[in-house]
Chains A and B, each alone.
Chain A
Amino acid sequence: MTKSMTDVICPFCGTLCDDLEISLSDDGKKILDVYNACAIGAEKFLHSQAKDRITRPRLQQADGTWKEISYDEAAEYAAQMLSKAKKPIMYGWSSTNCEAQSVGHEIAEMVGACVDNTAAVCHGTTLIAVQDIGLPSCTLGEIKNRADRVIFWGCNPAHAHPRHMSRYSWVPRGFFTGKGHKSRKLVVVDPRVTDTAKLADIHLQIEQGRDYELLNALRVALNEEWLPDTVAGIPKEKIREVAEVLKSGRFGIIFFGMGVTQTLSKNHNIDEAIALTKHLNEFTKYSIMPMRGHYNVTGSGEVLAWQFGFPYSVDLTRGFARYNPGDTSTIDLLSRGEADAVFVIASDPGAHFPISCVRQISKLPSVCIDPHMTPTAGVCKLHVPVAFVGVETGGNAYRMDNVPIDMRKVVDAPEGMLTDEEFLTKIRDRVKKLKGAA
């Protein structure tokens, strides 16, 4: 007899599926199998069971070897580092729960840190566009129940968010969409013939980096004004046809990803995509939504916003919050050599930042909190392994549509391991003493 757990939340991507079933060994200690998840989601659960897992904090020695230390010693190291630094960076937060983020922010406030999340390298540009022009959006259930026009622009959910289309955006039969994907027209805009594009009713194989032009041309077509023969490699007849398809829907949604946020024009692309959405609302009903990557990057933005007023790249070094991406953002602080300590949690800048920034991290006092041994952990002075959030501890997370879902604990972490929240609480209490606050 095996036990099973239902309604488990997948702590991997921003789709934040909450319908997983997990079978456990009789004693409830081992995960045997994961149902309903996609391959990458299932892998996350099974990976936590790895036998060779690192279970104690380790300090990197001069010769590159690692010395095991206790969590208390690790907390002391981190607290000292953060308290002494003039401009420490506290980066990551996207793969942990809001409880941990909250404690982390208390620390950041006491030590005067620059707090930033992974939006810095994916949807930060989206946030800037939203601050320019707004964001007409909705929850994913609205799409399931109403959407008859679905546009994926510069994103490939078939690979990056594997269950997105089946749960919310293309396949499901909702209240007003009883025929499932037959109720919907799917438009994909991508220079490549991706697996998502293969499913599309219309695939616009746009010239790389010409998103702004095509978005703008669609608006021109909505107004039935003059267009050149081709825009972004797409003939004008096709553009007019697509504009007609968009306009004729009852409820449409534009999903977009890093193919538009991080290519030429960056936030201006998103400005124009949002303007197109707003424009379409003059004819019918439209929403737009960023395909957020990490399962709780959205939550990090939310918690930062209600506690400090800004969703990412928040500089607390002056004792109050400042926000000026390009100035207060992590990559820029590292490139300019302004930061004097780096604290990374629940993300892997070592794998995603420019190499010059990674080198900078390796030169500075640095701490990496991550269940895995990652490229980031490899360059940091201290690596603190912690319990897997969403597997070995629960906690709140925000789906890409900002819907909060309370994750579940499935199994215990290995004996003696701390969670992010517990370890951060140790640091916070120590910093409080060092800073002499009551």
Chain B
Amino acid sequence: MSEYIIKNGHVFDPVQGIKGDKSDVAIKDGKIVKDTEVSSKAKVIDAKGKTVMAGAVEVHAHIAGPKVNMGRIYRPEDKLFTYTPKKGNLRMGGGFSIPTTFKTGYEYAKMGYTTCMEAAMPPLFSRHTHEEMRDTPIIDEGAYPVFGNNWFVMEYLKNNEIENTAAYCAWLLRATKGYAIKLVNPGGTEAWGWGLNCLTIHDPVPYFDITPAQIIKGLIDANERLGLPHSIHIHPNSLGTPGNYTITLDTLKLAEGVKAKNKFGREQVMHLTHTQFHSYGGENWGNFESKAKEVMDYVNKNKNITIDTGNVTLDETTTMTADGPFEHHLTELNHLKWANIDVELETGSGLVPYIYSPNISVCAIQWSIGLELALMAKDPMRCFITTDHPNAGPFIRYPRIMKWLMSDKARQDQLKAFKNSDKVIAASTLASLDKEMSLYEIAMMTRAGPAKSLGLSNMYGGLKPGMDADVVVYDLNPDKIGDPEEIEKAFSLASHVFKTGVEVVKNGEVVNNGNKRTLWVNAKVQENAQVMRDINEKFLKYYSVKQANYESLGHHFVPNPYAIEVDAT
């Protein structure tokens, strides 16, 4: 394998505490090595006056699987003016908020993202999700199966059977080749099976005689009993509703006093996703306001929580979530086309296109809240940048969000440009936050932080010898940033991107399809006859497929697996 040495760049690496010092990064056999370990044949990349970071890690995006593809199918208009033709060995690709799989891989790579997590995999559709991930080049990917409305989980947790829950979770992770325990509107999506919802953590789930709080608490316990690399990853009840910040705080409090148990260096027991959608005050859309401060005060104080932001990017996009009732609510609000996919025994999902218009105060306030959250984070190792792609905006806007976070001027310009500027400014504290994030903090929020939260800090997120050689060079001189637009430009098209030691991007262009891997978690538990009997019975009686035809297996679905072994026996 080729050797490289990236010389004289300004290195930002939270793992080693390097804050922009000039330093060399050496690559050999797919790993970072000491610069004395490469031979004289190593190809030299001159990074003088440039920024060098590890490959970025996406902690939450909807980029593969049935609802993503429903978006592609039902929105031909999303492809307009977006197509890039085939070129050499690179495939053609198109789409803006729901790009084709090939384009998804290429666009992430061009921004220096080298590992991504698909945020919600319906277990029954794991094969579909894996087929799409196989066709998403370059980036390593994992997927989170959803558990928060699963009949097994609800039946076990009704009786507080943590051990059975854990055994079932381990079984499902293996069957679906999944990465982590995801919850979406716990209990609420099952209620949506009847057109109902659970709006607080204490609303009982119809027929199942359990509350969202019990589901959340039980899955935290099961997750820690198993010692999985990631914590539970939760999208709480009442997403996108004025006044929902109290429900968010109630949800966060369920983690109080629980300590992380795992061998992966993970410290949190709950990851709260797209926090922007869950930090709303007011009673209706008329007096809607930010409660970012209330939520962040709590998060800052509680070290066993990590979050991602869910930044609104002010684009036309496609919302999609396993929160079925929310999407129905949204289509009633904006009257745009609604798709819904309820999934037997497991989950559901819905889609509605959405336009975040800078002329609409609510959208502009949502934009403010997302930025407030990041700027208020005391520990950037616990707060990650996302757009909940494509829900709050497409992932290709990450460089723009970095610009907003790094430049008060860029934010003030945008605040002033809103149609109802005064109203927007009054509804959040953003205008008064003059903090400008450093490149080091950006590296924490997009590299080292998410990698640690995922339990992957030994592989990703840093440039320490022994870690995977995921390295990015940006054409940005940290000593001479003038116009904030330079930030967006540099992060949009990296000068060089290496994925496990292979140069995949050169001067902003993809040059190689890489060696994509599928990450999944193989948790071994003690044999559990009861859980196996229950699984058997549910397939016989209630599923529409046979148990023997459920598992994602083999070359077509996971051609290049990377299993993370967990021993929970």
Q: How far, in whole Å, are A146 and B542 apart by their CA atoms in the complex?
A: 10
* With known contacts A99-B556, A251-B194, A18–B73 Cβ distance under 8 A: no
Q: Do B549 and A306 touch (CB < 8 A)?
A: no
B419 interfacial contact with A, CB 8 Å: no
Give the residue name and chain of the B residue nearest to A320 (CB): B83
Q: Does B41 sit within 8 A of A, measured CB to CB?
A: no
- Nearest chain A residue, comparing its CB with the CB of B99: A309
| Those of A304-330 within 8 Å (CB) of chain B | 305-311, 316, 318-321, 323
Smallest distance from the beta carbon of A268 to chain B beta carbons, Å? 15
Cβ–Cβ < 8 Å partners of B351 in chain A: 134
Whether a CB of chain A sits under 8 angstroms from the CB of B328 is yes
- Tell me the nearest residue of chain B to A133, going by C-beta: B337
Taking CB atoms and an 8 Å cut-off, the chain A residues in 407-436 that contact chain B are none
- Select which of A301, A398, A402 is within 8 A of B341 by beta carbon: A402
Cβ of B249 under 8 Å from chain A: no
**Given A7-B546, A136-B340, A306-B101, are A404 and B79 also a contact pair (CB < 8 Å)?**
no
For A167, the chain B residues whose CB sits under 8 A away are 544
Q: Mark A272-285, 1 if CB is under 8 A from B, else 0.
A: 00000010010011
Question: Does A131 touch B at the CB level, under 8 Å?
Answer: yes
Flag if B79 contacts A138 (CB, 8 Å). no
Is B102 interfacial (CB 8 A cutoff)? yes
A132 to B207, CA, bound (A): 36
Q: Identify the closest chain B residue to A250 (Cβ).
A: B194
Task: Tell whether, in the assembled complex, residue A168 and residue B544 are in contact, meaning their CB atoms are under 8 Å apart.
Answer: yes
CB pair B94–A320 under 8 Å, yes or no, is yes
B69 on the interface (CB 8 Å rule)?
yes
Q: How far is the CA of A232 from the CA of B453 in the complex (A)?
A: 61
B545 in the interface (beta carbon within 8 A): yes
Interface residues on chain A, number (Cβ under 8 Å): 65
Chain A residues positioned under 8 Å from B564 (CB to CB): none
Q: B124 touching A138 by the CB < 8 A rule?
A: no
Q: How far is the CA of A290 from the CA of B318 in the complex (A)?
A: 23
Contacting residue for B546 out of A19, A175, A398, CB 8 A: A19
A66 within 8 A of B: no
At the interface, yes or no: A207 with Cβ under 8 Å from chain B?
Answer: no
Q: A109-B86, A134-B337, A395-B556 are in contact. Are A145 and B79 (CB under 8 A)?
A: no
For A9, list chain B residues within 8 Å (CB): 549
What is the minimal beta-carbon distance from B189 to any residue of chain A, in angstroms? 12
Q: Mark contacts of B66-86 with chain A using CB atoms, 8 A cut-off: 1 yes-contact digit, 0 otherwise.
A: 101110111110110001111
Instruction: Give min CB distance, B117 to chain A, whole Å.
Output: 18
Q: List residues 191-239 of chain B with CB under 8 A from any CB of chain A.
A: 192-195, 207
Q: Check B344 against A310 for contact (C-beta < 8 Å).
A: no
Contact of A137 among B68, B100, B339, B344 (CB under 8 A): B339
The segment out of B46-54, B125-133, B383-391, B522-530 that lies at the interface is B125-133
Residues of A within 8 A of B (CB): 6-7, 9, 18-19, 98-99, 102, 109-110, 127, 130-142, 144-146, 167-168, 174-176, 250-251, 278, 281, 284-285, 287, 301-303, 305-311, 316, 318-321, 323, 395-396, 398, 402-406, 437-438
A-B contact pairs, 27 of them (CB 8 A): A7-B549, A9-B549, A98-B131, A135-B74, A138-B342, A138-B348, A139-B544, A141-B543, A251-B193, A251-B194, A285-B192, A285-B193, A306-B69, A306-B72, A306-B101, A307-B91, A307-B102, A308-B92, A308-B94, A319-B85, A320-B86, A323-B76, A402-B125, A404-B131, A405-B549, A406-B127, A438-B88
8 extra A-B contacts, CB within 8 A, seeds A136-B338, A305-B69, A402-B128 = A109-B86, A131-B74, A134-B351, A137-B339, A302-B73, A307-B101, A395-B556, A403-B124
